Chain A
Amino acid sequence: MRGPLIPQKEITNGDKMSDTTDTGRVLAADGTPLKRSLNRALRRQKLRALGLIAPLLIFVLVTFIAPIADMLFRSVENQIVSNTLPGTVQQLEAWDGISDEAPDEAVYEALYYDMFLAAEAKEHTRLGTRLNYEETGVSSLFRSSGRSVDDIGEDYIDALEDLNEAWEDESFWYTLMSGGEDAAKNSGLLEEERDRLASLTSDDFGGDIGFVPGQEMSDLLPNTARAYTSFALFTVIADEDVVAEEEPWEAVKIALVQDLKRGVDLAGYSGFGADELRAAQDMLAEQPDIAFKEAFLEMDEDWGDTDNWRTIQVYSPPFTTGYFLNAIDMQKGTDGPEARPDNQQIYIMLFKRTLFMSLMITGSCILLAYPVAYLLSNLPMRSANLLMILVLLPFWTSLLVRTSAWKVMLQQQGVINDTLVWLGLVDDASRLIMINNQFGTIVAMTHILLPFMILPMYSVMSTIPPSYVRAARSLGATNWTSFWRVYFPQSVPGIGAGSILVFILAIGYYITPEIVGGTTGTFISNRIAYHISSSLNWGLAAALGSILLAAVLILYWAYDKIVGIDNVKLG
């Protein structure tokens, strides 16, 4: 191909020049060794050339390479789990995933805070969708839990508010948590929560929010301070409200209940709200602990399903091999990768089929294109031009039109079958099935890709001097020998170029197999398209795409080793 050839020419030029300088220490006019001077001149030339192509290079990098790299990166990216459920993931590390016991209370408590925040930010359903690719049912589990997570511990909140109306008062909460204007502040906690919300929502949570948690309160009631800080950030930045004018979330009050019930020593505290806190602690001391696990199980019994927890645990790292395993019909088990059940294995078979059919298509293109290209390059100019237009005509017709035309031709009530029946070659009851299978795909794609084979072949063949064949003939070679020994070897670069073009185009083809492929003639690209546009499983689509890209690069490399890329010519 032309691309790789150009730099090669430059290198050979460079080599020639250095060859001449190697023979002696020749000096340039300014006294520097000629070799260095020449090198400098060459470098300058190269830089100038680079400067010339720079706009295009940058354009290609930005608009082509970067999105592809980004897309491929998705095949391993998995931050969504640890961003959405950071506390749960941390607590879950202690759980051994093999047992039949669901995790203990601490995990469910962490899940409560994570789920509450995620539901406020409407991110829980995204995680549900993500995990549903691995474990069926997680999607609706997360969706319904997000709706009712704020009901957990209602009784405790009611008890708190019955005890003292201050717990419903926005400004009371604000003063309590900020510790008053002059109090020492805990801006570290604020920044921590800022980062957490930013990674949860992938929005920027920067800027002043008119609230910094007080240091004393964050030491005394750590969970409450944390929950209130995220509430404050969310209220100001996402909802665009004022913290001191909004009643805190249920999760903040539950955090307070938990902090107080854990036996915080309030004796030394004499700041704002000390009396209310003490009264609340006394009241809560008489109540049983909040049972988070029970509450979640009551909400949906699937929260007790160890498979769901195992999925969360297995997919908690920020990067995963899960998509790639899925793309080769495997899955992540508790002890390493394992094969998928037989009735779900499809991708390896599709990869093989895609390769096989692309080779078939390339082969039939070679067979059909060679005589046409030969004819084109050996006809007189006038008729060659006409023939060329005929070759190019389908090229200018919409892909969909050409594919649909094959449908009309090949279907059972189509033109070919009708003709065969009319001629009496085929019985009306047993019309040939030529579409919605591999045959249909190969026929339609061969037709569509044929110009990509003819054109490089033609441009190579038209440079082969006819005198060579004539010389062979005059030396006594038969027609066949002169073609096979003299003409054909010279046309091989055209076949090579055409084959690479057609093969690489075919391997990623999507629309034609979709329309005429039926069930046995579809390609891997049809599954990629499905995951991109229907299931939204872009991670899996990216993994499949990466494998396809790698396969093409390996084949290209192999071709270079076996045939040599120098042997490819487009003209």
Chain B
Amino acid sequence: MKLTKTLMATTALTVTAVAAHAEDMADSMTLVSWGGAYQDSQQNAYAEPYKEMNDGLEVVWDESSNEAVAKLRAMDEAGNVTWDVVDVVAADAMRLCDEGLAMEIDPDEVLAPAPDGTSAEDDFGDLLVSDCFIPQIVYSTTFGYRTDMVPEGVDAPDEICDVWDTETYPGKRSLEKRPINNMEWALLCDGVAKDEVYDVLATEEGQQQALDKLDEIKDDVIWWSAGADTPQLLADGEVFMGSTYNGRLFSVIEEQDQPVAMMWDAQVFDLDGWIIPANLPEERLARALDFIYFATDTQRLADQAKYISYGPARASSAPLVGQHADLGIDMAPHMPTDPENAKNTFLYNYEFWADYRDDIDAKFQAWLAQ
């Protein structure tokens, strides 16, 4: 039943589910993720070890995370949710939670405490941005640029406003085809103080100001909608610099050895994590909770950083981050959360964008289409 969703979740069921452990758990489980290198890191860091611990467990992967919200809603309306654990970004988790499509969880009941006994709630801290969301990693949207296209005698770009400086750094830029992040960067470069950005962006004038600033480089921008676009555009030399997820840039730079470098200034932190769909049958819910408990413990989250340059969401995992599994390089300097990289950062403002997303997106798209 649709109704029982969150109520059962927070109280009775979770308790019994954790207590019941090992018994009465479904012997197959469908995990939904993003595919690619990210899904591989999850598979290596926790799905495989979990499978080894549970004989006869069948794990099915579905690469549908980018349409998870719409698909879950459709499944819910059809009364047949086939997913057990779904990987989504925090903003989507909030949407799913608001729509009653994701189960509310109590972190202290469902998640493992840190090895030193710190409760899960304190260990994840501020990253628990929604009642339904179980954070896994911190990633950032930031810029990469072609090192061989920096004009001679000019320093490499090292601040966000260099994106607007087409005189010093000629060449195209690639930006994501949505207002989020772009509007903030535009305001920052238009002289708005960092802690006032969202106050300004909440006003009509502020939104216009951001669009006017973006207008300055509109002709020099290629707009991307898939995370793989910017890495491809950089590798082909189509653009001089572009925004994308830092893990994608890591693989362009370190794994594919392209002449590309990171520009961490004003990187925007965002979160990715799990949700459990609302109203799962008891056995599947028990399996999902058991998996989540294992997959989000301190060691597992630290293990994931061996395969991809995203920061673990637990404070207690950070010291355990080691070297890349294949390349053997230290991963800590490649994490968005590394102090050297995180000198000037932004945290995705979930509350703000949940309210303003529809409105600003309408204006942004109208501006784009002009």
Contacts and interface: CB of A to CB of B under 8 A. Distances in A.
B356 A136 contact: yes
Contact of A136 (B4, B208, B359, B368): B359
Nearest to B365: A346
B2 A514 contact: no
Interface string B219-232: 00011010000000
Contact of A518 (B223, B236, B359): B223
Interface stretch (A108-116, A126-134, A278-286, A449-457): A126-134
A128 B97 CA distance: 12
Contacts of A140: 351, 354-355
6 tightest CB-CB pairs across the interface, nearest first?
A125-B98, A533-B70, A346-B366, A136-B359, A238-B3, A519-B368
A122 B4 contact: no
Given A122-B5, A411-B238, A139 B355 contact: yes
A505 B305 CA distance: 45
A147 to B, nearest CB: 9
Interface in B324-370: 351, 354-359, 361-363, 365-369
B69 A533 contact: yes
Interface string A320-361: 000000000000000000000001111001100000000000
Measured as residues with beta carbon below 8 angstroms from the partner, the interface class of chain B is 35 or more
B237 interface: yes
Nearest to A340: B362
Given A203-B2, A344-B362, A122 B225 contact: no
A132 B369 contact: no
A261 interface: no
A163 interface: no
Contact of B362 (A346, A522, A536): A346
B365 A527 contact: yes
B3 A201 contact: yes
A412 interface: yes
A534 B238 contact: no
B194 to A, nearest CB: 22
Contacts of B5: 122
B176 to A, nearest CB: 12
A518 B366 CA distance: 14
Given A139-B355, A140-B355, A343 B367 contact: yes
B100 A536 contact: no
A519 B176 CA distance: 12
B218 to A, nearest CB: 8
A133 B358 contact: yes
A203 B5 CA distance: 12
Given A139-B354, A350-B369, A412-B238, 12 more contacts: A128-B98, A129-B98, A136-B359, A140-B351, A140-B354, A201-B2, A346-B369, A519-B369, A527-B365, A534-B69, A536-B69, A536-B95
A208 interface: no
B2 A522 contact: no
Contacts of A143: 98, 354
Nearest to A201: B3
Nearest to A353: B369
A37 B208 CA distance: 77
A299 interface: no
Nearest to B367: A343
Contacts of A139: 98, 354-355
Contacts of B1: 203, 238
Interface of chain A, helix or strand or loop or mixed? loop
B73 interface: yes
A126 B67 contact: no
Nearest to A238: B3
Contacts of B356: 136-137
B141 interface: no
Contacts of A536: 69-70, 73, 95, 99
B6 interface: yes
Nearest to A203: B3
Given A143-B98, A343-B366, A349-B369, A132 B6 contact: no
Contacts of B75: none
A121 interface: yes
B238 A520 contact: no
A497 B66 CA distance: 37
B15 interface: no
A411 B238 CA distance: 7
A336 B233 CA distance: 48
B7 interface: yes
B197 to A, nearest CB: 17
B98 A343 contact: no
B69 A413 contact: no
A494 B362 CA distance: 42
Interface in A518-547: 518-520, 522, 527, 532-537
Nearest to A407: B232
A237 interface: yes
Interface string B1-20: 11111111000000000000
A413 B237 contact: yes
Most buried by A among B225, B362, B365: B362
A100 interface: no
Contacts of A138: 355
A457 to B, nearest CB: 34
A520 B222 contact: no
A522 B177 CA distance: 12
B34 to A, nearest CB: 15
Contact of B361 (A122, A137, A535): A535
B223 A343 contact: no
Contact of B67 (A122, A240, A533): A533
B351 to A, nearest CB: 5
B99 A132 contact: no
A136 B354 contact: no
B67 A535 contact: no
A230 interface: no
B369 A238 contact: no
A133 B355 CA distance: 9
Nearest to B2: A203
Interface in A376-392: none
